[in-house]
Amino acid sequence: MALDLATVSEAEADELLGRCEIATIYCVGGMTYVDGCESTPELARRINCEGPAILAAAAAKQGARFIYFSTDYVFNGRSGPYVEGAPADPICAYGRSKWQGELAVQDAHPAALVIRSTTVYGPDPNRRNFLYSLRKGLAGTQPFRVPSDQIATPTYNVDLAAAVVALTESGARGVFHVAGPDVVSRLEFARRAAAVMGLDAANLSGVSTAELAQIAARPLRGGLLTGKLAASLPRLRMRGIEDGVSDWMGTTTFTESNS
């Protein structure tokens, strides 16, 4: 049985979890297309807030753990990187739907674990994160435009997964930031990733967010601080850009059609 976060009902969620022995639910689904959320905010709210809350409530009834994934877009991007307790102040529909989702999930399942991450990159069978776009863009002849004024903490998805599993196994609850150690602009991230890939970054073009004329507002100085994570999992290592991209290169096969 498949569940659609946009349409799932309480009865559907209860029925599925009632007949399956599920100890932990990682709610990784969501509407992450930022401009799409801005154009269809009600859909974003259903997928990022209402659906996960229904699933969290069903998990609570069954005594199952529930992990919800959120973002640094819950902040306004004026004073990042942020700690967990910084006041939320989302400036776009995506950020609002995720912040509402955090609150609704924790209300439905008080022992839920909320993971905030940002600028996630790494192995992806669908080749849809920034590294794949960067590699393809730098192989072309046209300028590859990257925001020079959006600051974040790029996160290697292999490390993100390991951290979330470790937090879950430790019984952690509440909000945790899981992100990489580097505080950089998207442009600097692109340059450093290109260097690891051995690609010529000459056609990288740094532009302001305003020049991109995107539908949704972006938090400019974002990113996440991870002191709480480090205190909880002192042996955990979140890799920086060079190590993360290098590991990705070693686990990914490229062909002419996708390089």
Cβ-contact 114, 70 below 8 angstroms: yes
Q: Is the pLDDT of residue 9 over 50?
A: yes
Q: Is the pLDDT of residue 259 over 60?
A: no
Phi and psi angles of residue 88, each rounded to the nearest 5 degrees, phi first: -75, 145
Which CATH number fits the domain 10-251, given the four candidates 3.40.50.300, 3.40.50.720, 2.60.40.1120, 3.30.70.980?
A: 3.40.50.720
- The string over 202-239, giving b where at least 16 C-beta atoms fall within 10 Å of a residue's C-beta and e elsewhere, is eebebeebeeeeeebbbbbbbbbbbebbeeebeeeebb
Confidence bin at 58 (pLDDT 50/70/90): very high
Q: What is the mean pLDDT of the chain?
A: 95
Total-model pTM: 0.96
Q: What is the pLDDT of residue 153?
A: 98
Mean pLDDT (whole number) for 249-259? 68
Q: Tell me: the pLDDT tens digits for 210-220?
A: 999 999 999 99
Map out the domains of the chain as residue ranges. 10-251
Catalytic residue numbers read 94
